[in-house]
Structure 1
Amino acid sequence: MSKSNLSKLKSYARKLKQNLFVLYLSYRDNRTPWYAKVVAICVVAYAFSPIDLIPDFIPVLGYLDDLIIVPIGISLALKLIPSHIIEDNREKAEEIKKNGKPKNWFVGILFILIWVLLAVWICKLVLQAFF
């Protein structure tokens, strides 16, 4: 893959990631169908998670989730949510951005706690399997 293709792909992924906050707001919107909420919160949680399926330090493969998995998830979630809800939440997101970046420490701590509990559970399963 050439550098120009890679930079185009990164630019595309960056544009899609701008929709993450819109997805978060749509997840919290009562008008959003339940199945779209499930996809939206999974995509937002994974995108903001400090843990990737493929660690970034692995050459080429490390950026696959950032360049392919997350954008596909964002695109899918945006297609599942009715367009009028997306537009309403896009306006809210822009308004919130103008007033300063949103901070939600509770959600961040919750994501980290979930990943830690998942890691502990997997370690426990592995230890039980081998010992």
Structure 2
Amino acid sequence: MTSSLFSLPLLEAKDLSNNQLTGHIDEFQSNSLRSIELSNNRLQGSIPSFIFELVNLTDLTLSSNNLTGIVEINMFATLKKLERLNISHNSLSVSTAIKLNSSFPNVYSLSCHLAT
């Protein structure tokens, strides 16, 4: 998936769900982006580290792709404004056990379905 899809600096929401996108999630920078919805595609690879630098992100939906790797749930705690996180229906594993209520005080919707 090309980073040009996210190259608009004032873009606040990107919904590319259900588009049969393939490949890895390429790195991009955006301080304005609040919502990323990439569910029901064919994206591969791990969740890229730059996602954890999107300080205004409130909604991250990466469900129903072919994402793999180990997820350190505590990395999502760097996203202080995150309210919704859905990474379910991928082939992800979790490596960290944390107390969700203290690490994610603003999250009201969480769907992971991770293997431990």
TM-score tier by shorter-chain length is under 0.3
Pair member with larger Rg: 1
The two structures have a TM-score, normalised by structure 2, of 0.22
Q: Larger helix proportion, structure 1 or 2?
A: 1
Normalising to structure 1: TM-score of the pair? 0.20
Structure having the higher strand fraction is 2
Larger RCO (alpha carbons 8 Å, 6+ apart): 1
